[in-house]
Amino acid sequence: MLRVENLRKRYRTGDEALKGVSFSVPAGEVVGLIGPSGAGKSTLIRCVNRLVEPTDGNVFLNDLNITQLGRGDLKRARRRIGMIFQEFALVERLSVMENVLSGRLGYVSFWQSFTRRFPQADVDKAFALLERVGLSDHADKRADALSGGQRQRVGIARALEQDPELLLIDEPTASLDPKTSRQIMRLITEICRERNLPTIINIHDVPLAQAFVDRILGLQDGELVFDGPPSELTESVLTRIYGEEDWTTMRGDQDDGEDGRSARLIKEAPAELV
Ligand X SMILES: Nc1ncnc2c1ncn2[C@@H]1O[C@H](COP(=O)(O)OP(=O)(O)OP(=O)(O)O)[C@@H](O)[C@H]1O
Binding site for ligand X (CB under 6 A): 11, 13, 15, 17, 35, 37-43
Residue number, 99 or 202, with CB nearest to ligand X: 202
Q: How far is the CB of 132 from ligand X (least distance, A)?
A: 29
Shortest spacing between CB 39 and ligand X, in angstroms: 4
Q: Closer CB to ligand X, residue 162 or residue 202?
A: 202
Residues whose CB is less than 8 angstroms from the CB of residue 191 and which lie 6 or more positions away in sequence, other chains included: 132, 156, 160, 197
For residue 27, the SS3 value is coil
CB nearer ligand X, residue 139 or residue 219:
219
- Least distance from C-beta 221 to ligand X, angstroms? 8
What's the closest the beta carbon of residue 15 comes to ligand X, in angstroms?
A: 4
The CB-based long-range contact list for 267-274 (8 Å cut-off, 24+ gap) reads 270/210, 270/211, 270/212, 270/230, 273/182, 273/207, 273/208, 273/211, 274/182, 274/186, 274/211, 274/212
Tell me whether residue 163 or residue 246 sits nearer to ligand X (CB atom): 246
Q: Which residues pair with 223 in a beta bridge?
A: 220
Max CA distance (Å), the chain: 56
CA–CA gap between residue 85 and residue 105 (Å, rounded): 18
Beta carbon of residue 43, minimum distance to ligand X (angstroms, whole number): 3
In angstroms, what is the minimal distance from the CB of 213 to ligand X? Answer: 17
Distances (CA, A) of 224 to 227, 260, 272: 7, 30, 29
Of residues 47 and 135, the one with the C-beta less far from ligand X: 47
Which is closer to ligand X, CB of 122 or CB of 246? Answer: 246
DSSP secondary structure string, 170-231? E-TTTTS-HHHHHHHHHHHHHHHHHTT--EEEE-S-HHHHHHH-SEEEEEETTEEEEEE-GG
Instruction: Decide whether 15 or 268 has the Cβ nearer to ligand X.
Output: 15
Reference 206, options 183, 168, 233; nearest CA is: 233
CA distance 168 to 194: 16
CB of 251 to ligand X, least distance (A): 18
Give me the residues paired with residue 199 across strands. Answer: 30, 167
